[in-house]
């Protein structure tokens, strides 16, 4: 999960925004989950391909299955970052909750996931005191961005 933390945070941030946008559509759980899965997988593939193109332009490499596969593996964290908020939505669905409640819980989970990732990164960097607070505050700022979207749309 934290072999490549940037894409992990990116996945959590994007899925939070998508969950919030989905709350405006009033679809079924199945349509919502399918739409989110398709969106995040397409994002992962697009981000992977952008990395492949960048590497090819930088190093003059030929396009190959190996290059694509390596970048897909490296960017896989996007999917893992999106997994927890999506899992919360699915659990809410299975538990018989409302779609609105599930999406709200997913948005909050995405925000908390981003803060937690920054906190873990801070601990792994042996930060303490003001440095750890600052590091965590940056994650909180990004998580807050998702919640601000929620306030704007509602």
Question: What would the pLDDT profile of 35-73 be if each residue is shown by its tens digit?
Answer: 889 989 999 999 999 999 999 999 998 999 999 999 999
122-140 tens-digit pLDDT: 888 899 899 999 988 888 8
- Phi first, then psi, for residue 126 (nearest 5°) are 60, 35
Cβ–Cβ < 8 Å for 30, 89: no
Work out the pLDDT band at 24, boundaries 50, 70, 90: low
CB atoms within 10 A of CB 44: 22
Radius of gyration over every alpha carbon of the chain, rounded to an integer in angstroms: 17
User: What is the residue range of 145's domain?
Assistant: 5-153
With a CB cutoff of 8 Å and minimum separation 6, the contacts of 34 are none
- From CA 94, how far away is CA 38, in angstroms rounded? 20
> Hey, is 38 helix, strand or coil?
helix
- Scanning the structure block, which residue is given the tokens 């700022």? 141
Which pTM does this prediction carry? 0.82
The number of domains in the chain is 1
Confidence of residue 154 (pLDDT cuts 50, 70, 90): low
86-120 pLDDT per residue, tens: 999 999 999 999 998 998 899 899 989 988 888 88
C-beta of residue 15 within 8 angstroms of C-beta of residue 86: yes
């Amino acid at each position: 999960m934290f072999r490549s933390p940037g894409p992990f945070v990116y996945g959590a941030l994007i899925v939070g925004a998508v969950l919030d946008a989905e709350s405006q559509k009033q679809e079924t759980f199945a349509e919502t989950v399918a739409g989110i899965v398709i969106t995040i997988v397409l994002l992962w593939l697009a981000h992977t391909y952008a990395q492949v193109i960048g590497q090819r332009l930088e190093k003059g490499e030929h396009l190959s299955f190996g290059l694509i596969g390596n970048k897909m593996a490296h960017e896989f964290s996007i999917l893992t970052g999106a997994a927890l908020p999506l899992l919360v939505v699915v659990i809410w669905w299975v538990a018989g909750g409302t779609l609105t409640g599930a999406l709200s819980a997913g948005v909050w989970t995405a925000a908390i996931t981003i803060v937690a990732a920054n906190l873990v990164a801070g601990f792994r960097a042996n930060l303490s005191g003001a440095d750890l607070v600052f590091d965590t505050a940056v994650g909180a700022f990004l998580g807050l961005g998702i919640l601000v979207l929620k306030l704007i749309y509602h």
